[in-house]
Structure formats: C-alpha cells, structure tokens
Chain A
Amino acid sequence: MSDSTILTPQDIIERGELVFKKTALLTDNIMSYCPGCGHGVAHRITMEVLEEMGIGDQTIGVAPVGCSVLAYEFMNIDMQQAAHGRAPAVATGIKRVYPDKYVFTYQGDGDLAAIGTAETIHACNRGENIVIIFINNGIYGMTGGQMAPTTLPGMKSSTSPFGRDVQMMGHPLKITEMIAQLPGVVYVTRQAVHKPALVNRAKKAIRKGFEIQKEKKGLAFIEIVSNCNSGWKMTPVNSNIWLEENMLPFFPLGDIKG
C-alpha cells in the first residue's frame, strides 16, 4: 500500500491511528438533525455514559415530541416515544414497575417547559428516581422555529417575528431554577456542548445523574443549553457565538443544586 492511496477506515484502524470510536449504543442510522446542531453531541455523550457504566441493557429511554422525537432511531437501547410533554409521566410509569432499571427522558424546551410543565414539575416533586436531559435551544425546532417558553426577550421567531414582546407574550421561563426548589430533585445543573471542554463537562454531569439514579437518591435534572442554527436562521458558527453572547448570560452555566 503506497502513501498516495486514499485510506479506507479499515486502513486507518490497521495503522493504529484510531483516535475515536463511536459507542455501540449509537446506531448507524444517519441522524436527522441539522448540521451544526447540538443534539448529536448530546446523544453521543449520553450513550457513552451508559456504555461506560455498562448499563445499556438495563436502560429504557423516553423520546419526546420535538426534534428528538426520533431519538430511538439513533440510541441503540430499548426506547419509548411519548406524547408531547408527557415523557416524565411515561418515565414514571416505567420506573415504578422497574425500580432497579435505569430510565431517562430526553426533552426539548417546548416539550418540557411548555406543554409538559405539569408532568415535569410533578415527576420532579415526587423525586422519581430518573434522569431528565433537557435540551434548551430557545425555540421550537421541529415545527419550524416558533417561539418557545425559553425564547429570550426580543428574540425573533416565526411566531414572534418582531422579537419576543414580554408584555404581550410573557417572559422566558427559567424552569431549571424552579425545579431546583423541589426537595425530590437532588441534582440540577446547566451545561452546554458547543465547545470541547464544555462537552466533557456536560458528559460528567450526565454521568453524575446516572450515578445518582444507581444509588436511588432521587431525580437528576440536566439542562443543556444548545443552539438551533436553522431555527435561529444563522450559520452553525454564528449560532454558537450568538449562544455565548445571548443565551448564556440569561441561562448561566453551572451546578444549581447538588
């Protein structure tokens, strides 16, 4: 084999140059997310945590309605798809009959903080021993960029075309801070995945969440502030800059509880 040959993945592996391997807990299906979107990274680190803990065969995931409605196409574990907002109730049903298995929901902001507010708060308040992964990108991605409960004041969307007017449309909901008040919730954190160091930190937070579940301590709530370059009408790079400059001041990163 000469050096001028185009290398196949197998060639690279044989040369010992493999630096990254996809976890077996992700399928080979092509992800439906837009290029530049944070969902793919969030999926990957969640599945890596399950693999590293060796609990993929004991875990049942719940996909929401939203961009990650098809999460079960990409996560190679047993999964259920829940009605819009109802994932925490569905997860409650699973966990109550399987207290020794691992259960998580993966939900967006519209699902978790608008239509599913009651299910979210009450599952948290009961201290269901589950992990909730909450992807907050401040917009309804799947339906085409409408205003979400976490859309920032003045932020444009297809249903707030002149910017979110808080007098007319209400304020963005800091549901993560609300949830931190509930005694059943033992760990609440806000993370991001748009930079490598932040990805590592977010993965550690997810790991901590599943360790809490393993120890049957209560509910772990992990928010990931993410971008939506398509919904925000930006290039992926610009969306990450916008996220840093606008989303993070309103939704500051770090542990809120536990």
Chain B
Amino acid sequence: MEEIKLMKGNEAIAEALIRAGADAYFGYPITPQSEILEYLMTEEPYKRTGMVVLQAESEIAAINMVYGAGACGKKVMTSSSSPGISLKQEGISYIAGSEIPCLIVNVVRGGPGLGTIQPSQSDYFQSVKGGGHGDYRLIVLAPASVQEMADFVQLSFDMAFKYRNPVLILSDGLIGQMMEKVILPPQQERLTDEEVEKRYGSWATVGKKAGRERNIITSLELKSERQEKHNHKLQAKYREIEKNEVRFEKINCENADYLLVAFGSSARICQKTIQLGKAKGINIGLIRPITLWPFPSEEINKAADKVKGILTVEMNAGQMVEDVRLAVNGKRKVEHFGRYGGMIPSPDEVLTALEQKLIGG
C-alpha cells in the first residue's frame, strides 16, 4: 500500500529500499548519511521482509559484502558519503568489471580530503567519469527531492539488473538531511532465486546445479585478447544504456532566452531563480539532467540553438560544465557558477551570476 509521510531524504531512501524487496544493505557510518543505516537498524527489516542489514568494519568491507551478495543475484545496496565513496572505488571497479548489479548511494559532502560535512556536488567527476580504475561506467541518477530519493531506488534496481551494471544515486547532504512529503511505494515481495533466474538468466553464484557449467564471477582475464573482448562487450552495453536511459527534466524552456543547466539540489534552487528572472523580465529556462551518465547531451545541444547563452549551476568548482560544453560543442557561450566547500548558492546569487556572465553588466 502507498503511504504518505514526512521524511528526511536519507530515511526515505532506506524505507524505499525495504519496500523495493531488497535482500541486503551493508554500510558504515559517515555524516551526512548515517540515518540510512540507523533507520534500517531501527526498522528491523530482517523481521519485516527477511532483508539483511549489517554494519561493516569499513566502507571497503561494505562494498565487498555488496560484491558477494550481489553476485548471488540479490538486490543489494550500500551507501556512504564522499570520503567513504573514495574507499569503495576499488570494489566498485571490480563490481563493474564483473558485471554485478547493485545500488550505491553517495550523499555528497564537500571535499577534498575530510573536507566538510556540509552538502556539495563535488563528486560529479568521480561518479560519471569512472572513479575507480579501468574503462567502466556507472549509471548515475541525481535526485532533486526526497520523493526522488524514494522513487529512484526501484528504478536503480530495474536498470542494474537489466544491464548487470552498478547504479549510483548521487545525492548530497541537502537532499539527504531535508524533510519533505514523500509518497512511499507499496511493499514488494523479495524475489526467489528461481524468479531472479527466470527474469535475468542463470549467471549468479547460487550453488552449481547438476547439468550446468559452474558460474564464475570474476573481473580477471589474463589473456589480453579476451580482456579486450570483455571490454568491447562492456562498451557495447554502455552504448545501449546511452541509447535507452537518458533522463532529464525541462522547465520553462519554451521561448527562454537563457538556459540554466543544473542537477539535484542546485536545480531546486534554479527553479526559484527562474521566478526571480521573470519578475525582472529575463526569460530563463532550466534543463535538469536526471541521469548524469548517460548525460542528456543531445537535448542540451538542441536547446542551445534557441538561447543566447547557457549557465551551469553546481555546488562545485566547475565539473558538469565540461560535459555541457562538449554537448554544445562551441556553438553557444557556456559559463559556470558554483559555490563549494559546503556553501549553497542562493537563487538571487544565481540570477546575478547569469546577468554578469551571460547578459553583461
């Protein structure tokens, strides 16, 4: 049954995980996402649905527990915040190479290093360009509300299993900590091994049954020819994901003179900037990439033809702006406005930046 509640983003994602019929969560405390593990331990989903919850000894252990359980064909999630996500990168690379479906949540805080516990979007590069070693891609979703924190859990698992690929939800301390109304989805049953095999094929390590070859989960291939072949296969999969899974939201783009491109929290702030602009007679549109990879390059390219200039608004020193510039390919001016180190841009700061950088003076 659907249910309406007032929840923190971190709580909403934890509750949505239980309701998605997840099999396991492995995590390690770090601000600003500790509520996820706390909520799960308090809710005791092992009593409600049989879902496993375990506090690991480190982020490294947690991601490797995800590797082990995910490779059994189970719906598994881990979450952390920036420094912890850095520790998980080895495991994420192995998971991508071994093609294990799973969900990773990053409730981003400012960096580099131990940085700050305040919100940031400075892990964009790490999320969409790789993060760990080797040629691989994560599907990256950027929620802009507590509702999307909940909604993206099932969506992530659907894509993770369809493509046998890890999915990352790139949230931030603002979305994780703020409370909003959220409509929670009805409880789904956890899948049996037989149902997983019927839907997604027999690839998981469930115990070798007589009459089939053993299932092996590995990212190792010592013969270069075969490793290249494996890489070709991964790249073909990534092209397929690029074709099918681009998601974005367009706000006020019809007849806009200037275009903002922003994701997550920044996109929420930009919606207010659009209103402030309207009051001053400046017609501003917004494209909000929902998938940061695959990136809505085509849509941004098309939108660029209709506007005088583009401003990306990010809680970082200029990361997504590089992908917007690649999408626009030089045909329009693309500028960046950012606050960082845990600072959050205000709607009027964004409008001022747009006036200065795109309109002039």
Contact = CB atoms under 8 A, between A and B. Distances in A.
Given A69-B220, A119-B57, A91 B68 contact: yes
Given A96-B69, A97-B23, A97-B24, A89 B60 contact: yes
A201 interface: no
Nearest to A96: B52
Size class of B's contact patch?
Answer: 35 or more
B24 A76 contact: no
Interface string A131-155: 0000000000000000000000000
Contact of A57 (B65, B70, B210): B210
A250 interface: no
A94 B60 contact: no
B297 interface: no
B205 A93 contact: no
A80 B52 contact: no
A38 to B, nearest CB: 22
B317 interface: no
Contacts of B70: 93
Contacts of A45: none
B91 A83 contact: yes
B217 interface: yes
A86 B60 CA distance: 8
Given A57-B208, A97-B74, A92 B68 contact: yes
A79 B207 contact: no
A60 B57 CA distance: 23
Contact of B58 (A56, A57, A58, A118): A118
A78 B208 contact: yes
B57 A80 contact: no
B208 A80 contact: no
Interface string A64-85: 0000011010001111111100
A92 B66 CA distance: 9
A93 B218 contact: no
A119 B207 contact: no
Contacts of B52: 96-97
Contacts, number: 126
Given A60-B72, A69-B220, A96-B24, A89 B65 contact: yes
B207 A58 contact: yes
B214 A72 contact: yes
A89 B64 contact: yes
B100 to A, nearest CB: 9
Contacts of A96: 24, 52, 54, 65, 69
Contacts of B352: none
A60 B66 CA distance: 15
Contact of A60 (B24, B205, B209): B205
Best-surrounded residue of B76, B91, B217, B220 (most CB of chain A within 10 A): B217
Contacts of B91: 83, 86
Contacts of B60: 86, 89, 118-119
A87 B343 CA distance: 40
Contacts of A89: 56, 60-62, 64-65, 67-68
Contacts of A59: 207
Contacts of A92: 54, 56, 61, 65, 68
A21 B339 CA distance: 70
B214 A122 contact: no
Interface in B69-115: 69-72, 74, 76, 90-91, 94, 98
B205 A80 contact: yes
A77 B218 CA distance: 14
A101 interface: yes
A70 B216 CA distance: 11
Interface in B193-209: 205-209
Contacts of A78: 205-208, 214-216
Contact of A86 (B61, B206, B207, B217): B61
Nearest to A81: B218
Interface of B: 23-24, 26, 52, 54, 56-58, 60-62, 64-72, 74, 76, 90-91, 94, 98, 205-210, 214-220
List the 3 shortest-distance A-B pairs measured between CB atoms, nearest first.
A93-B68, A93-B65, A89-B64
17 contacts: A60-B207, A72-B216, A76-B208, A78-B205, A78-B216, A79-B215, A83-B64, A89-B60, A89-B68, A90-B67, A93-B65, A93-B67, A93-B69, A94-B72, A97-B24, A97-B52, A119-B57
